[in-house]
Chain A
Amino acid sequence: MKRVININFQGRVVPIEELAYDILKNYVESLRIYFSNEEGKEEIINDIESRIAELFAEVLKKGKSCITDEDVNNIIGSMGRPEDFEGEDPKVNAQFEQNYQQEKASSSNGHKRLYRDENNKVLGGVCGGIANYFNIDPLIIRILGIVTLSFTFLPYIILWVAVPSTATQVIGSTRKRLFRDMDEKIIGGVASGLSHYFGINVWIPRIIFLIPFLSFITNWSHWGLFGFPHFISLSFSPGAAVIYLVLWIILPEAVSSADKLEMKGERVDLNTIKNTIQSDMEGFKGRAEKFGADLKNRAEIFGKEFSNKSKINTTDYTIKTPKTGLAHVLLFLIKAFIYLIIAIVLFAIVISMFAIGIVFTSMFPLFNFFFTDGAEVILIWASILLFIWTPVVGITTWIVRRVSRTKSNSGIIRYILLSLWFLGIFCMIALGVLIRKDFRYRNNPIEDKITLTNPTISNLNVVINGYEKNKQINNWLKIEPFEDFNGDTAYVPNTDIQIFQSKTDSFEVSVLKLSNGETKEIANSLAQKINYTITQKDSTLSLYKGIPINTFDKFRNQRVVITISVPIGKRIRIDDVIGWKNHVHVGGDDNDWDWLHEYFSRKGMNWEPNTEYIMTADGLKEMYKTKNSSIDLNNESDEMKEKMEENSQNREELRQEIEEKQKEIEEKKRELQKELEKE
């Protein structure tokens, strides 16, 4: 069923199908363009229209109720299309071609579009089309293209295939454009439009858009196996949605019947592309030779002019010509460079926001541990969607629009996106408020003493356990503050180790449990529930990798502070584990666990993992390192030697003293004996 309109054609009322009317209108328009320079063009066009009207009358007389597109096409066929008209100069024809394409390009869209120039091509007409678009000499583009061939090779191929050539710019012919098909739409008609353009079944693009979503859903419950391919499919699913959204906004709807015709027109499938490229290739050799000869000629002329200029004092005219060419190229290069910079910046912004969006969306499984159900979950989803994904969509759309120079439908889309984004900011703020409420209170700190089985051991090795062998896989999901998780439990390495001097001569370990919560009671109960395991076996103290958090209690900054008191003369050593280095603090006051929040510990010292420390009266001192510190070892032995020497010196001195003293005693004895004998 088609719409029929009545037109006043050459003074008569003619019923004609809407589609046919569009074709007719285009034809007359093309005639107008063709004859634009002709004297008496009005008369010619009038004559032709008059003839068409006559033919219409004949058709209607035969009993048809209205003029159909078939009739119009037949009539146009017999009248002929402008480019088939003879009796003109070939130059005029060529001029017409250029004018025509320019006009058609601008008149149908109100601005210039990028086409491949069939008349001005060496290989595929890409450079010619680009030159047309920017209104500069195609030679410049070609030279630039050849110079930067390594960069431009792939884009050239893409443009060759994708950009329509001017050969398709004929009236009423089926030039293909990408539209959204509103008649066959499910959501926005994007997939249908794509299917028409490529001539494929409509379900193929639909499935392509849907696949990532399907895998997203199936992955819902398998977060434990968070391997690499799943990550990719996750990144596709919001990605595919964004692409769909962007296309939905940019592509126009196929409203008029001419649009619909253009949408379903010439099959741009692999065959037609192949044919086009083949025919382009066939002429290539000849044209390339011609181009090369052309270049050579120009170079020769250029060289001659230059040498002439140096030999003879020529006028300004010859000097001017090469220079303007150069300035022209330079200007173009600068412009292109600036555009490139802007494009790169915008691209980077979009990519980074995209990445942020992906990261946040992929953190989804961890939301259960952090956010309470209800308002918070809604808010976090809303924040992500609105705050992060909306600008991605908006900026991408804007970029694609600018690149393809399509008209923007209206500012409405922009306003909608902007207001959504503000809503997203609002949601984020609300979320922040809610979360703060959850964490408001701190509990009364609970201190548990861990009894050591053998507190008088001479040294203590602290190790962190709980890591599975396949730690690598879990590294993908190392998102603060969670260390690891498997299903319902997440482990948070929110632990700090404090090392003090023991007041007794045995090791002491105590655990301080801290937590936040909405109310003091909740904070207290959460702290009580902290199930942090510390085990001791001989001289090894094992700390678990993190505090287990489950989805019921949620993460509310549960912390443990492990205080290890080391007696003087005893040694302690902590295993090298990533990230734990920052969690070890030495010294400080006993109840000063508050300042552990700060980055710099006021009274601590630089703690090295895998280093054995010994507690002396003045504090911890380094004993020796386990890895590559032979220098230290030497120092150590030197010190020992010194000490021994000192000792032996002392001994010597003492012996000497003793000897002296003994001598004195001997003397005294002798004197006494003498005295005794005298008497």
Chain B
Amino acid sequence: MDIQNTQSQMRKGVLEFCILSIIRQGEVYPSDIVDKMKSANLNILEGTLYPLLTRLKNSEYLTYRWVESNSGPPRKYFVMTPKGLAFYESLESTWKELTEAVHALTQTNEINTVKNI
């Protein structure tokens, strides 16, 4: 149980960042986001996504517009705001720092273990 907890914590940390990076690339609607994440091998439930999007929108990092469709109800298309962009960039730098740190640490471990052999 504990390992699952840690794993899900790790995921939660990066979810927002991933979603924002998808939206940054262009106007999307939620199920598109789910598909794109799936193709990148990061599965997310729609039920997780919607509240996240709403929160981001409420924090004014995103806006949306309604698009009518003939094969169903109208859809929300999300787009990043400038504020959102700034937010994204600060996340991006945090992510870079993190990845470098983790990389460095795990690399060192590998080198050490290789040495011991």
Contacts and interface: CB of A to CB of B under 8 A. Distances in A.
A78 B73 contact: no
Contacts of B5: 90
B48 A86 contact: yes
B52 A87 contact: yes
Contact of B12 (A40, A58, A79, A86): A86
A38 B51 contact: yes
A80 B72 contact: no
A343 to B, nearest CB: 40
Residue from the set B30, B50, B54, B74 with the largest chain A CB neighbour count within 10 Å: B50
A440 interface: no
Contacts, number: 78
A170 to B, nearest CB: 14
A80 B54 contact: no
Contacts of A47: 30, 50, 53-54, 76
A167 B4 CA distance: 18
Interface residues of B, number: 26
Given A39-B58, A57-B72, A79 B45 contact: yes
Interface string B46-80: 11101111110010000000000001111110000
A78 B47 CA distance: 8
Given A10-B73, A82-B47, A85-B47, A51 B30 contact: yes
Given A51-B30, A87-B51, A57 B15 contact: no
A36 interface: no
A88 B11 CA distance: 12
B36 to A, nearest CB: 15
Contacts of A38: 51
Given A51-B46, A84-B45, A85-B45, A44 B51 contact: yes
Going nearest first, the 9 A-B pairs with the smallest beta carbon separation are A80-B45, A80-B47, A57-B72, A54-B72, A79-B46, A47-B50, A40-B54, A85-B48, A79-B47
Interface in A1-35: 10-12, 31, 35
A50 B73 contact: yes
Contact of B55 (A10, A40, A80): A40
Contacts of B11: 86
B31 interface: yes
A62 to B, nearest CB: 11
B8 interface: yes
Contacts of A85: 45, 47-48, 51
**Chain B contact residues, majority secondary structure:** helix
Contacts of A39: 55, 58
Size category, A interface? 20 to 34
A348 interface: no
A47 B46 CA distance: 10
B46 A48 contact: yes
A80 B58 CA distance: 23
B72 to A, nearest CB: 4
B81 to A, nearest CB: 17
Nearest to B46: A79
Given A48-B46, A78-B46, A87-B12, A53 B51 contact: no
Given A40-B54, A53-B72, A54-B75, 6 more contacts: A39-B58, A54-B31, A54-B73, A79-B46, A80-B45, A80-B47
